[in-house]
Amino acid sequence: MAGKLQALMRKVQKDHGKGSMRKGADLLAQDIRRIPTGIFVVDYATGGGVPVGRMTMVYGQKSSGKSSLLAKLAANAQRLCRHCHGPVVTETKEVTVEQVRRQPDGTVANVKVQIPKEIPVDCVNECRVAPESDEEGKKKRAVWPGRMNVVWIDAEGTFDYKFYTAFGVDCEAVYVVTTDYGEQAIDIADAVMQTRECDLLIVDTVAHLVPKVERETSAEEMQVGVQARMVNKALRKWVGTQNELTNQGETACTIILVNQLRQKIGIFPVFVKPGGVGQDFATSVDIQLWQKELKFDTQGRPLWQDTRFAVEKNKTGIPKMEGRYRICLKEHPGRLPGDTWDDEVTFDAATSNGFIEEVTDEKDKGTGRLLVMGREFDDESALRSEISEKGEFYRTLRGCVLDLMIGRPSDGRLANNKKKRGEVKI
């Protein structure tokens, strides 16, 4: 019987792709690649970031930090190679851009200014993909596959160039799609994935995918469950496309569904997600956000926001993880928009997990020198300064600390407060 199954598997792979039928042990060798969110506690709670080739949902009430998290995720995706998902090597060059400036006489005009910009050069693994021969049969030079491509389905029509640019997104490399109705957006998203050149597809938001029948009929007519049926059809279609790409041995597009929480009519405080419950079954990771606290400056402008999150579902890691992070909203001394105090969190995590050791020297006792991953620092302030630069040393330390914390087994002891889940412990 096993021989017939083997023969059938070879035939199925030949007809439908190598990934269409295989043994479960073959999946063990496939490591789940991830797109980091750039937020230490979120990356730890999700198991390293958003899984590549899967569907993830981010939802919450108004001003809960959904757009900020999307901006961090898109910016980090653009820093990865679309072939090996390794970091992209960049060069800083001066480019000319137009900015709106107020002149001394009070008028407003567009002024050309020189600003530094990171230009992608290659990836750390030096990936090279040999293209096919041209019409004359001459082989072309091997090319670098480039960084991840981001496509943004802007159903809300609220894509803000300045906001996402301030958070590190290269909007010139983002494809923004704005449609008249939901079915149109579904077909365009499926066509985008079929091109095999889209690596991250963001649907912002599911709640604003309006069915065509609502656009064409009077608002007086009542339709029941129209949006839910449309969204479920979209999920089935997109998941089928992801499976098709996987069967052909290619990396499927990563889909991020953004949704809102609406109050259920007549029942308080029950909240629901527009689009039906089918979303909860199609996704691999669900992240819920809450706004906890805002800090203002002396002029009444918000400087940063504290956001609480919960990984309600995680098929690629440990579910039900919670945490809290702080994200900068307004530039102020020492911080830029989009900063998340990850340098301080990384230092605390490295300290509590034994990455920072004091240099023991019988001649120079009490000097305060520290040893971190084979590198010595004069004191704690020197180490903090190096981490705050967020260079190669910081990225290496952050990755090693995350890998240790994610792979560390539990001690088996229960938390003191059994009724309430605790936040992520660094």
Instruction: Place 366 in a pLDDT band, splitting at 50, 70 and 90.
Output: low
Block residue for tokens 């958070």: 167
Instruction: Place 417 in a pLDDT band, splitting at 50, 70 and 90.
Output: low
The answer on pLDDT for 29 being more than 60 is: no
Mean pLDDT, the chain, integer: 88
Coil, strand, or helix at residue 402?
helix
The answer on pLDDT for 206 being more than 50 is: yes
Q: What percent of the chain has pLDDT over 70?
A: 93
Instruction: Place 264 in a pLDDT band, splitting at 50, 70 and 90.
Output: confident
Q: Which domains does the chain have, with CATH numbers?
A: 32-78+148-330 (3.40.50.300), 110-144 (no CATH), 341-410+419-426 (no CATH)
pLDDT of residue 139: 66
**What mean pLDDT comes out for the span 5-22?**
87
Segment 383-404, tens digit of pLDDT: 999 999 888 899 999 999 999 9
The pTM for the full model equals 0.88
pLDDT of residue 94: 78
**What mean pLDDT comes out for the span 19-38?**
81
Q: What percent of the chain has pLDDT over 90?
A: 58
Burial status of residue 298 (CB atoms within 10 A of its CB: 0-12, 13-18, 19 or more): exposed
Beta strands in 188-334 (DSSP E): 200-204, 254-260, 262-263, 271-272, 285-296, 302-314, 321-328
The answer on pLDDT for 48 being more than 70 is: yes
pLDDT of residue 260: 94
Best CA proximity match to 61, nearest among 309, 228, 337, 422: 309
Which parts of 217-341 fold into alpha helices (H)? 226-247, 278-282
CB atoms within 10 A of CB 393: 15
**What mean pLDDT comes out for the span 286-308?**
93
Q: Which residues contact 337 (CB under 8 A, 6 or more apart)?
A: 166, 167, 328, 329, 330, 331
Residue 94 tokens read as: 């001066």
**What mean pLDDT comes out for the span 65-76?**
95
Coil, strand, or helix at residue 32?
coil
The answer on pLDDT for 116 being more than 60 is: yes
pLDDT of residue 1: 46
pLDDT of residue 22: 85
Segment 122-166, tens digit of pLDDT: 898 888 887 765 666 666 778 888 999 999 999 999 999 989 999
- Taking phi over 0 as left and psi of -120 to 50 as alpha, with beta for the rest, 364 belongs to beta
pLDDT of residue 178: 95
